[in-house]
């Protein structure tokens, strides 16, 4: 009986989270403002949107500048765009990180900025719902991408393998186009976020399996 119950719950879980009604044609002629389009997932998003026939407005930034204004820039851009998005019943797609849901060692400033994003857009989503404003907010929880600067920054520190940038970007586009509340790439990050609620303080042994502590501290 327990086996059947667990199997049924597992089937419902996969059916709920893997339901996909993405229609690429829905992005033909769509207006897209894309920040950080000069590198990483932002660059891959620009390529995908262009192939899908969207009308793009691109902005760029440097990595150092992004770290300094990470949270503030998101808030300011959202505040300016919200009136237009409200009129057009548009969408906000926020590219965040697993470190905005699950804290880890030696990433305090970055993780704090990403946690702030999750709090801000989570609260904003509720405010829009209460006011019956039809603006979707999609939070994208991504891992390490396979671009050169990201790989170099953590070389010798983490043992986690990078995820392909083009596939991560496509997952973001699918989530935004279907107005999903959240996107997790790779998909196992959803499970990690669920586990974090049950194990808020993982033992150091587990952390060391994916982290070179000596290199990280240096």
What is the rounded CA–CA span in Å between residue 180 and residue 161? 26
Pair 181, 139: CB distance under 8 Å = yes
Q: Give, in order, the Cα–Cα distances in Å from 181 to each of 91, 93, 116, 121, 136.
A: 11, 9, 17, 11, 8
**Distance in angstroms (rounded) separating the CA atoms of residues 42 and 1:** 48
C-beta of residue 81 within 8 angstroms of C-beta of residue 135: no
Catalytic residue at 110?
A: yes
Which residue among the candidates 16, 47, 49, 110 is catalytic per the annotation? Answer: 110
Q: Which residues are catalytic?
A: 110
């Amino acid at each position: 009986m327990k086996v059947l119950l667990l199997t049924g719950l597992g089937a419902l879980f996969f059916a709920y989270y893997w339901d996909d009604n993405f229609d690429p044609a829905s992005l033909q002629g769509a207006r897209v403002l894309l920040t950080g389009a000069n590198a990483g997932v932002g660059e891959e998003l620009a390529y995908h949107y262009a192939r899908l026939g969207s009308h793009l407005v691109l902005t760029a930034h440097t990595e150092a500048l992004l770290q300094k204004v990470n949270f503030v820039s998101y808030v300011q851009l959202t505040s300016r765009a919200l009136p237009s998005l409200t009129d057009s019943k548009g969408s906000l797609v926020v590219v965040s990180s697993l470190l905005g849901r699950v804290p880890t060692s030696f990433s305090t400033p970055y993780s704090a900025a990403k946690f702030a994003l999750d709090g801000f857009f989570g609260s904003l989503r509720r405010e829009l719902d209460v006011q019956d404003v039809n603006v979707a907010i999609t939070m994208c929880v991504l891992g390490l991408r396979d671009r050169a600067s990201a790989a170099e920054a953590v070389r010798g520190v983490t043992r986690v393998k990078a995820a392909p940038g083009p596939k991560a970007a496509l997952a973001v586009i699918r989530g935004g186009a279907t107005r999903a509340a959240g996107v997790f790439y790779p998909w196992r990050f959803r499970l990690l976020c669920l586990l974090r609620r049950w194990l808020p303080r993982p033992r150091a042994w587990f952390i060391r399996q994916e982290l070179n502590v000596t290199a990280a501290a240096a």
